[in-house]
Chain A
Amino acid sequence: MNSLWAVTLATLKKDIRLEWRSKDALNSMLFFSLLVVVIFAFAFDPLAEESRHIAGGLIWVAFLFAAVVALNQTWARELRNQVLDAYRVSPAPANALFLAKALGNFLFVSVLEALMAPLFVVFYNLHVLGPAWQLIPIAILGTWALVVNGTFFAAMSLRTRSREIMLPLLLFPISIPAVLGMVAGTTAVLTGDNPAHFYIVLLLTYDVVFTTACLALFEMILHAE
């Protein structure tokens, strides 16, 4: 167990360092997130009375698209430099690579969300009527739900034609219960109409089930040639 976390942290630190050095991907994705928020502000009238009711859905759709853009380049660096072959041959546990990638994606998407959320609040004049602190577990659990499956499916899509479209194609259907949980939970907190507890439990269950499934099956995916 020790070596699993050691390798995971080492890989994660390496990824963060590499990402930080060339800020290209980071910058372009930050700008993309901003653009998405602006487009949504034009597409859906932010001054309408019902904006609080639809804001939950809009925010998470925006996060979803930003996450897909981020997830698509999860394994790009590894592919370019044949790192995956080296990893397959090394004695390092496959799950360490998966966890490192998933955690890296989680941090990255969280940064994107942290940027987009205030923009939404500004454009839509959002004003939380329910218990605002509940937005934090919803955001964390929801983001992890997207990222854990996204990292797994990104690996699955490595040897497919149209790799970039394959990831959302695989990810979206499976993510539907999680998206329902995130959106309904966020809306519940924003409007204060109903409690968000069940949605948080739903997201937690989803995360536990699929994190387990990903960890159980990742080694096989990694060795898929």
Chain B
Amino acid sequence: MNAIKFLFAAYIVTWLIHAAYLGSLVRRFSRLRQQLKELGKK
């Protein structure tokens, strides 16, 4: 029974890591689009 905790921990951690990375991609995207917009204005 205890072992099942490890199974769920592994699955959850996997998706946490993927979510964190995708989140960082989204953040970098929005920052770059912002900078591109500012460059376009000048």
Judged by CB atoms under 8 Å, the answer to whether A and B touch is no
Interface residues of B (CB under 8 A from A): none
